[in-house]
Amino acid sequence: MSDYLPKEVRAGLALARKAKQKASSRMRVRTGDQTYTIVRVWDGGFALDADEALPLRGLVDVFDGPRHIANCLIVASESDGNEIVCEFKRATPTQDRAPQDYAVADDAPVALIGRD
């Protein structure tokens, strides 16, 4: 059906589709002071809008809305049409507390009661 539409209408539809995709995505990637919207995510990487972002490399932070969810080490990014496809070597999930380097017993007390 798109073969019968004028190219101006097809370009307008493509822009509308891209705007809807960016508006519905909560995922963001931050590198330094720059923040980019993630268009697609899969197990080994993610895709960014080529009009918005430059090819990335190195350590970046991934956010889902305001929540920091992972640190990723990007090893390859290439332009693929209207997307920049980034593949990462590792994605380390962030935690809300410091890791423990010792074993804690299941019946250990949660807190101590002081003497008054």
Per-residue pLDDT for the chain (116 aa), expressed as one digit of tens each? 556 778 887 777 777 676 666 556 688 999 888 888 888 888 888 888 888 878 888 899 999 888 999 999 988 888 877 888 889 888 888 887 787 888 888 888 888 887 86
CB 109 within 8 A of CB 73: no
Q: 3-state class of 112 per DSSP?
A: coil
d(CA 56, CA 47): 11
pTM above 0.85, yes or no: no
pLDDT score of 62: 92
Question: Identity (one letter) of the amino acid at 34?
Answer: Q
Through-space distance between the first and last CA atoms of the chain, rounded to whole angstroms: 81
